[in-house]
Every structure is written in structure tokens, then in C-alpha cells.
């Protein structure tokens, strides 16, 4: 079945398949192509990107795999290998995060088709940036088959990233929640990094910045093992800020990134300290107990907090990064022995801004939020010329 434009929203792959990007398709059919994708790359009727491109007459000569591998189920480093029919699969989350000269040899273009979640530290955007940089050096074109930002394109939250905080979980200088699609991020990164690159974006048809995943009519495919549903992805940009700091963030539970806790955690004291902030953010917290089946505190009984939006609030949190920043400071205040300065410092790469982190260490939550909002406001203006929707 070939989709038609009667579908409300068509990701870039389906736009290409429906004949709405004929010039790009004609060029690709005359080239040797590498494909960077995973299990989220598929048509709206479920055909994997590789099969869809082959059916269009595109010669795919190599596959590239991001973090979590081709199936999105792996943790840790991914090894290179081959498909059953002998197509090489090059890992970009193993010995190298960048495609090597040998990997790019003989390729005219790389097609990128992966579903992102809209957070700076979700590594699929870093992989895209590194591929763009290497393709620019080697004269290889990049084609991004764009997909919606599942948590919307209007809200921008959190600080940008300082050079000393750049890493694989923060390569582009964008806020924690950037409100852009990967196609838009590619355009921004090409300009910021001054890349001499032949870049083409096949946009999503009929998507608007106000549209969140539940309104797309698209099937949710977990982009990584700990984002099983849209709700977890919506909370991810905030609670993932605590990922490296020694607390459980819901991995190994039914509500990833909606829960925080630890065996030593005192939820009532944390909630009391946060209550004024929670009310302003439109978020409620409930003291709970849980036992993670994996990750931090695996099999240990933890006390913690389950967060939800207040009654009448939108289903998607629009204040999730401020919640994460508030949590970092509050845990350091309430649990100074367990949540030490050193543990808070572990969040430096995720927060991305030393001034914001210093404010959090001083329990200056208003100051940290003000600095983060200044960055977000400046980025709103800076990103404007790169927006496609």
C-alpha cells in the first residue's frame, strides 16, 4: 500500500514514498546511499525504511546504527555487523561515534531516518550532527527524512550548553528542550558549525508546532528501551537531568522518567520543600514506594515521588525542565549527605551550563530558573530562521 496525502500527517519517508519530493528521489535513485536508521524508521503502514527505499529504486549500500542499535533494544556499546543479505551495518555507538573514512568510502549520500524525542541529551541528534560533520569533510551529501517532535515545537526550556560541557549527550548548543525537529536541527547545525555540506530535508507534511504526539495519529514506537510510551518521553527532558546523580528515575518501572527515588529518599520532606514550586509549575507529586527491576537500585525497595500534571492541565508538561532543575537543588538541600555536591556535579553535562549549576548548588532556584529562561528566550529568536513548520 502506498500512502496518499489524505493522511493527516506524513513523515518525510512517507512524503518521499508518496511522490511529493520527486527531485530528491530522482537524485537518490542515481546514487550509492548509506542509511542511518533504526526500528523507528518505518512508513505509516509499518514498512521499514530500508525496504521502503529499496522499493523506490534507491541503492542502499550500507547501514549505520545509532545508540541502542538497529532494533532500539540494546544497552551499552553496539558492535558492527551485517544483515542477513550481507549489507554492512556500521555502529556509531561503539569504538567510534563518527563514521570513518572507510565507512563512507564509495557513498554519495547518507539518508537519516530516526524518530527523536526533543531533548538535547537524547543522543540521536548528536549522532546526526557528527555524521553531518564527517560527510562535509568527505563530500558526502546528507538527506534527513524528517519526523515530528513528539513533545511539540512551541515550548523551549532549559539552558543552552557551554563549550566545557559538550559531550556525546550534548553536542549542539541548544536548550535542554529545544522544540525542533531533527530536520530543523540539521539546518541549525550546518549554520552553527559552518559546514560545507549538501544537505536536503524532506519535511513532514501537515505537522504544526502545536501538535504533540497524541494528535498525530501516528503509532508510538519506543525509540529506546526506557521510553515505552509518549508520556515517558514527555517527562524525559526534566527528570533525565538527574540520570547521573545517584537517584532512580523510573528505569525498570512502569513509569520511566515520571518517578524519582532511592532507598534513603524522604519523599515527604522533598515534597514539602518543593510545594511552592510544584504549584507554580502545575505539577503534583505523590509519595510512593517502588522496586526497580533494573538500572539504579535494581531489586531494592525505594521511597520516592511520582509526578503528574495537576487536574485540568494539558496532558503534556510544559514546565518539565524547570521541575528537573528544582529537583536537583532540592535534593541537595534536603539530602546533603546522600545527594552530595559531587553527585549534583555529575549532572553538569546534562544541565550544560556552569552558571545554572552553580546557582543550583547554592540552592538559588529562582536564579537558576532565570538563567535557564534567558537562554531559552535567546534561542527562541536564534532558531527562527531554521524552522520549517
pLDDT of residue 71: 76
Domains contained in the chain, number: 2
Q: What is the largest CA-CA distance in the chain?
A: 64
pLDDT of residue 311: 61
Q: pLDDT band at residue 7, thresholds of 50, 70 and 90?
A: low
Across 186-195, average pLDDT: 99
Domain end call among 157, 185, 219: 219
Domain end call among 192, 219, 246: 219
Do 188 and 243 reside in the same domain of the chain?
Answer: no
Q: Residue 192, class by beta-carbon neighbours within 10 Å (0-12 exposed, 13-18 middle, 19+ buried)?
A: middle
The answer to whether residue 316 is domain-embedded is: yes
Do 201 and 94 reside in the same domain of the chain?
Answer: yes
The answer to whether residue 377 is domain-embedded is: no
Question: Which domain CATH number covers 180?
Answer: 3.40.50.12170
Do 209 and 89 reside in the same domain of the chain?
Answer: yes
C-alpha angle with apex 134: 172 to 376, nearest 5 degrees?
10
Domain end call among 219, 247, 274: 219
Do 206 and 239 reside in the same domain of the chain?
Answer: no
Q: Percentage of the chain with pLDDT > 70?
A: 95
Do 192 and 103 reside in the same domain of the chain?
Answer: yes
Cell of 175: 536548550
Q: Does residue 73 register a pLDDT over 70?
A: no
Q: Which domain holds residue 202?
A: 12-219
The answer to whether residue 364 is domain-embedded is: no
Residue 287 β-bridge partners = 305
Do 239 and 91 reside in the same domain of the chain?
Answer: no
pLDDT of residue 304: 98
Q: What is the pLDDT of residues 336-358, one digit of tens each?
A: 999 999 999 999 999 999 999 99
Across 43-49, average pLDDT: 97
Across 319-345, average pLDDT: 96
Q: Does residue 51 register a pLDDT over 70?
A: yes
The answer to whether residue 91 is domain-embedded is: yes
Locus of grid cell 528566550: 377
Across 248-252, average pLDDT: 97
Cβ of 276: how many Cβ atoms within 10 Å?
A: 11
pLDDT of residue 80: 74
Do 128 and 239 reside in the same domain of the chain?
Answer: no
Question: Which domain CATH number covers 254?
Answer: 3.90.1150.140
In the predicted model, what is the mean pLDDT of the chain?
Answer: 94
The answer to whether residue 331 is domain-embedded is: yes
Residue 96 CA, distance from chain mean position = 20
pLDDT of residue 112: 99
Amino acid at each position: 500500500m502506498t500512502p496518499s496525502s489524505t493522511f493527516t500527517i506524513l513523515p518525510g519517508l512517507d512524503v518521499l514514498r508518496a511522490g511529493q519530493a520527486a527531485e530528491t528521489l530522482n537524485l537518490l535513485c542515481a546514487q550509492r546511499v548509506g542509511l542511518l536508521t533504526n526500528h523507528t524508521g518505518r512508513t505509516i503502514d509499518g514498512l521499514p525504511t530500508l525496504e521502503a527505499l529499496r522499493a523506490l529504486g534507491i541503492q542502499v549500500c550500507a547501514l549505520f546504527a545509532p545508540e541502542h542499535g538497529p532494533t532500539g533494544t540494546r544497552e551499552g556499546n553496539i558492535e558492527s555487523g551485517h544483515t542477513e543479505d550481507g549489507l554492512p551495518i556500521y555502529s556509531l555507538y561503539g569504538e567510534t561515534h563518527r563514521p570513518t573514512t572507510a565507512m563512507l568510502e564509495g557513498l554519495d549520500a547518507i539518508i537519516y531516518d530516526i524518530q527523536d524525542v526533543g531533548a538535547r541529551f537524547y543522543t540521536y541528534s548528536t549522532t546526526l550532527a557528527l555524521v553531518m560533520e564527517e560527510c562535509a569533510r568527505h563530500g558526502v551529501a546528507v538527506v534527513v527524512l524528517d519526523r515530528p517532535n513528539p513533545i511539540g515545537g512551541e515550548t523551549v526550556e532549559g539552558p543552552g550548553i557551554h563549550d566545557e560541557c559538550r559531550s556525546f549527550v550534548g553536542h549542539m548548543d541548544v536548550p535542554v528542550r529545544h522544540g525542533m525537529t531533527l530536520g530543523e536541527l540539521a539546518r541549525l547545525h550546518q549554520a552553527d558549525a559552518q559546514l560545507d555540506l549538501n544537505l536536503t530535508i524532506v519535511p513532514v507534511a501537515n505537522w504544526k508546532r502545536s501538535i504533540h504526539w497524541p494528535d498525530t495519529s501516528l503509532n508510538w514506537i519506543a525509540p529506546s528501551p526506557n521510553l515505552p510510551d509518549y508520556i515517558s518521553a514527555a517527562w524525559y527532558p526534566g527528570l533525565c537531568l538527574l540520570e547521573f546523580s545517584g537517584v532512580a528515575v523510573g528505569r525498570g518501572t512502569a513509569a520511566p522518567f515520571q518517578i524519582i527515588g532511592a532507598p534513603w529518599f524522604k519523599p515527604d520532606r522533598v515534597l514539602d520543600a518543593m510545594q511552592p514550586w510544584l504549584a507554580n509549575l502545575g505539577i503534583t507529586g505523590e509519595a510512593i514506594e517502588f522496586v526497580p527491576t533494573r538500572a539504579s537500585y535494581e531489586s531494592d525497595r525505594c521511597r520516592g515521588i511520582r509526578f503528574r500534571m495537576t487536574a485540568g492541565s494539558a496532558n503534556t508538561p510544559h514546565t518539565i525542565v524547570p521541575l528537573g532543575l528544582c529537583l536537583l537543588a532540592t535534593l541537595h538541600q534536603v539530602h546533603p549527605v546522600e545527594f552530595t555536591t559531587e553527585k549534583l556535579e555529575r549532572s553538569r553535562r546534562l544541565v550544560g551550563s556552569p552558571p545554572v549549576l552553580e546557582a543550583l548548588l547554592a540552592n538559588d532556584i529562582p536564579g537558576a530558573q532565570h538563567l535557564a529562561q534567558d537562554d531559552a528566550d535567546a534561542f527562541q529568536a536564534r532558531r527562527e530562521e531554521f524552522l520549517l513548520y
